[in-house]
Amino acid sequence: MTKIGIRLVLLLAIGATIGCDRVTKHVAATRLSEGPSRSFLADTFRLEYAENTGGFLSLGADWPRPVRTTVFGAGNALLLVLFVVAMRRGWPTRALLGVALLVGGGVSNLLDRIIHGTVIDFMNMGIGPLRTGIFNVADIAITLGVGIVRLETSRSDGQGPTEGTVSNRHS
């Protein structure tokens, strides 16, 4: 695939991730925020509205607002910029989809923090008392992206850009 084709696919993946997350959060806010949680598949999957002021599993939710804003707003934005820079520096092409998912999910959660001051979460899975935290589509994309990046970068030899990488250093 050409560099332009790869870039188009990555932009589409980022846009689709952001779009899916924004739409599902809107539906959660309008349909779940005022009502009880909804249970499916013998309570294996639940839909329940939550607003998370912290990070992963509400880490830092009790921190003072300026600290939360710095860590989860500015820190997140800086991390996203670093991922985009790293992506342009020649990561294995197979890892770039993971970076795109990570960036799309991170941008959508950052938009929540900027617009609402919290992140809207609404999904929960588990069996009996063993349950996940409440999460959203962006969190799924971020987790999947980390897994793809980890898998694909561990396959490279660590010698820098190799065959099958995308690099913009000379373009």
21 is catalytic: no
As a whole number of angstroms, the distance between CA 49 and CA 96 comes to: 32
Nearest C-alpha neighbor of 90 from the set 166, 29, 163: 166
Cα 20 to Cα 7, 133, 138: the distances in Å are: 20, 20, 8
Catalytic residue among 43, 112, 121, 157: 121
Catalytic residue among 21, 112, 139, 157: 139
Q: In the numeric block, which tokens belong to residue 112? A: 């929540």
112 is catalytic: no
Nearest C-alpha neighbor of 24 from the set 138, 146, 141: 138
Active site residues per annotation: 121, 139
